[in-house]
Structure formats: C-alpha cells, structure tokens
Amino acid sequence: MLILSNEEIESFLTIDKCIGALEKAYKSWDEGKAINRPRTDLVMPSSTEAGVYAFKSMEAGLYDPPIVAMRINSDIIRWQQQGGRVIKTKVPAAPGNKYVGLVMLFSTATGEPLAMFPDGVVQRMRVASSSALAARYLAREDAGTLAILGSGWQAGSHLPAMCAVRNIKQVNVYSPTQANRETFVKEMAQKVAAEVRPVDSAEEAMRDADIIASTTNSLTQVVSPEWVRPGIHLTCVRVPELGDETIRKIDRLVIHSHQHAPENYIAGFGDEGIESHDAIDIIRKGPAQARESKVEHPFWLESPELRDLVTGRAQGRADAHESTCFLNNIGIGLQFAAVGAAVLSEAKSKGAGHEIPTDWFLETVHP
C-alpha cells in the first residue's frame, strides 16, 4: 500500500493530467462504466468551543482503471460574519494546528487497499480541473482576460487551470486583503505566462474580463448581476457566490451534478438525512422548518450536467455573444476516483511515496 503526502502529489500532478482524467471519468460515468455515491455529512456538537464537528464522505468507482476511491473529511467548522458576509471556515484543530482529510483507493480486482493520501492538493485540483473542463466547452475561444475573485487555496488552482484551456494573456486578481492578493500575484506570476496583476476592487477586476472565476469561501453573493454581459463566462466554487439573480441572467448554464445538496445527518434532528447546501441552514432553522424546506429545489437544477457537456448531449457555447456559466454546485466522489487514479499512476512511474505492508490492512477473520 502506498502512502503519499500533499507535497509529493503537488510535485508531479499537473492540471493537464487532472483535466484528462476527469474528462475520461465523466464519459465513463455517462456510459455506465463508473458509479458515484453522493456526498453525506454527519454533523454533531464538538467538545471544544471552536465550532461544530462534521464528518463528510463520498465515494466512486471506475471500471478502467479498476479503482474505488473514498474521500473523507473530519472537520471542526465555524461560521462567522465578516465584512457583511457569512464566511464558513474549517478550524485546524488537529495536533500541530492541522486539518484532517483523506483519500483512500481500493482495487476492484482484489479488494485490497492501494493507496492513502491527504485530500488537500487533490481536492483543489479536481475542483479547478472540472471548472477548466467546463470552460473548454463554454468560454469563448478568444478569451484572453481572466478575473479572479479570491486569493486563497482555490484561486491558486483555478488560475493555472483556466490558463491551461484558454490563451489567457491578462489576469486581474481581487481579494479584500491587499497583502494577500499581492502575495498571491507574485506566486502566480511564476507559474503562468499571462500577466497577473492585483487590482483594488472587484469592479476593476471585471473590466474587460472574458472569464470570471469566483473562488472565495463566501456563503453570500460576491458576483453582481451587472457583470453578466454578452460573451462572458462565469464559474464558481460555491453557488451563493453568484446568487439567484446573477444565475438567472445567464444564457447557457451547466451545473456539476443534479444532486441538489449533501444529505446532512445532524445530532438532535432525528435519523433521517436532510437535504441542504449547508448544515448551518438546518441548524439556524431548527428541526421543523428544516424538514419543511428540504423538498425545495433551486430553479437551476434542471440544467445540463457537466457530463452531458463532455459527451455532447448538451450543447456548449453556441456563439460569441452568449453569456455562459458553470455552476459548481457540489463536489462528487467521481472526481477523487479519477484524479486519485492519476495520482497513483504518476506516483508509481516516478517512484514517489512510501510503501507500507498491505497485510496491515487485511484480515483472516470474515468481516
């Protein structure tokens, strides 16, 4: 069994590899040669005052390569008001001020565990690669200016991902903290050929932008409906970043998955899963209101999925004047199976990682 670190994965996993692996996986899923289990969240009080405890899991399996992946997160989560917005943050409460997120790969030929590694690098690269894959079909071919909202973890993968599918010449970066965006720009300027520059406002970032990528951790709107204009392409990492009014203005919309939201199992709310974008909605509403509202589905849910776009069942951009959008409404286990398989293949070819006895994880007792 192979054990890998985030640092090792980051040293050899490329955006191009991720995009290729995901495109193949979405096609396999559409052909019935892959299976995906939707995400579930288990939420309960934490014994600390830092926030609530959440255990998130999702899985998927591929026929080719014969791999099943499971991604889990064991998190302490806090919600707080910041600058008039609700921000969701994970608290690094594990020893050494660290987070806990793991991907485990299993063989569907023998059942044995193949690899285990932290989910951090893979997590952000699978999100950005899905966004870039959608942009390949939806953004204008001549798109040359990218606006990035945010200067954190997701922004760091979305910028090179968009540059991988379009000939981006200029990138405008805005985030509220000047020092953060300037540090981010210096880092990104070494990774892409485009001119990367910090700007002082979101409005300035939007000026002449062909692609807008919102990569924040905001649970409230950051993209104004006024920024939707002919020829623009938008993408996000959270639905609330765009908001209903912005989404309604889009000419052609593609979503990631028809699964509306994770099933949340929350202590004190019974044993039945409650469908919601975020457990905070349920906690704030209380059990009765949460159950009454769980059947509400957003208006955009009937839009084509990314796999429809990849297989040609859904049309991509029809002309240069359309406004298009990829709504990254939820992450799926299939992404971890596809990118995880690519990680394992690359690690083996490069001799990366540390092998430990597979027998440690096997047993003679019938499970």
One domain, residues 346 and 319:
no
39 lies in the same domain as 140: no
CATH number of the structural domain spanning residue 167: 3.40.50.720
Q: Cα(239)–Cα(311) distance, rounded to whole angstroms?
A: 24
Average model confidence (pLDDT) across the chain:
92
Which of the four pLDDT bands, split at 50, 70 and 90, describes residue 337?
Answer: very high
pLDDT tens string 170-185: 999 999 999 999 999 9
Same domain flag for 48 and 105: yes
How many angstroms separate the CA atoms of 171 and 169, rounded?
7
Half-sphere exposure of 363 (CA within 13 A, CB side): 3
Residue 225 inside a domain? The answer is yes
Residues 112 and 187 in one domain: no
Classify residue 290: in a domain, yes or no: no
Confirm whether 362 is domain-assigned.
no
- Is the same domain home to 306 and 337? no
76/84: higher pLDDT: 76
pLDDT score of 296? 66
Please give the tally of structural domains in the chain: 2
Rounded to two decimals, the pTM is: 0.91
Q: What pLDDT shows up at residue 45?
A: 83
pLDDT of residue 294 exceeding 60:
no
Rounded percentage of the chain residues whose pLDDT exceeds 70 = 91
Q: Are 197 and 237 in the same domain?
A: yes
Range of the domain at 54: 2-122+333-356
Residues 6+ apart with CB under 8 A from 345: 65
- Count Cβ atoms below 10 Å from residue 163 Cβ, excluding itself: 21
Which of 278, 240, 174 has the alpha carbon at shortest distance from 184? 174
Mean pLDDT, residues 309-332 taken together: 96
> Is residue 363, in this structure, part of any structural domain at all?
no
pLDDT of residue 268: 74
Residues 149 and 246 reside in one and the same domain? yes
Residues 93 and 184 in one domain: no
Q: Are the C-beta atoms of residues 339 and 126 closer than 8 Å to each other?
A: yes
pLDDT average, residue stretch 311-327: 97
Same domain, yes or no: 147 and 185:
yes
- Give the domain CATH number at 38: 3.30.1780.10
Residue 216: name the closest of 109, 328, 300, 108 by CA. Answer: 328
Q: What is the 3-state secondary structure (H, E, C) of the chain?
A: CEECCHHHHHHHCCHHHHHHHHHHHHHHHHCCCEEEEEEEEEEEECCCCCCEEEEEEEEEEECCCCEEEEEEEEEEEEEEEECCEEEEEEECCECCCECCEEEEEEECCCCCEEEEEECHHHHHHHHHHHHHHHHHHHCCCCCCEEEEECCCHHHHHHHHHHHHHCCCCEEEEECCCHHHHHHHHHHHHCCCCCEEEECCCHHHHHCCCCEEEECCCECCCCCCHHHCCCCCEEEECCHHHCHHHHHHCCCEEEECCCCCCCEEEECCCCCCCEECCCHHHHHHHCHHHHHHHCCCCCHHHHCCEHHHHHHCCCCCCCCCCCCEEEECCCCCHHHHHHHHHHHHHHHHHHCCCEECCHHHHCCCCCC
Average the pLDDT over 355-365 and give the result. 96
How many whole angstroms separate alpha carbon 232 and alpha carbon 210? 5
Find the mean pLDDT for residues 106-112. 98
Same domain, 140 and 51: no
Position 50 scores a pLDDT of 66
pLDDT above 80 for 203: yes
**What pLDDT band is residue 76 in, cutting at 50, 70 and 90?**
very high
pLDDT grade, residue 263 (50/70/90)?
Answer: confident
Q: What is the pLDDT of residues 266-292, one digit of tens each?
A: 877 766 666 655 665 566 555 555 555
Residues 90 and 22 in one domain: yes
Average pLDDT over residues 304-323: 97
Domain assignment present for residue 288? The answer is: no
Confidence bin at 27 (pLDDT 50/70/90): very high
Whether 131 is covered by a domain: the verdict is yes
* 87 and 48, same domain (yes or no): yes
Task: Please state, in angstroms and rounded to a whole number, the distance separating the CA atoms of residues 222 and 85.
Answer: 9
pLDDT category of residue 47 using cuts at 50, 70 and 90: confident
pLDDT digits (tens, 9 = 90+) for 209-234: 999 999 998 888 999 999 999 999 99
Instruction: Report pLDDT for 267.
Output: 79
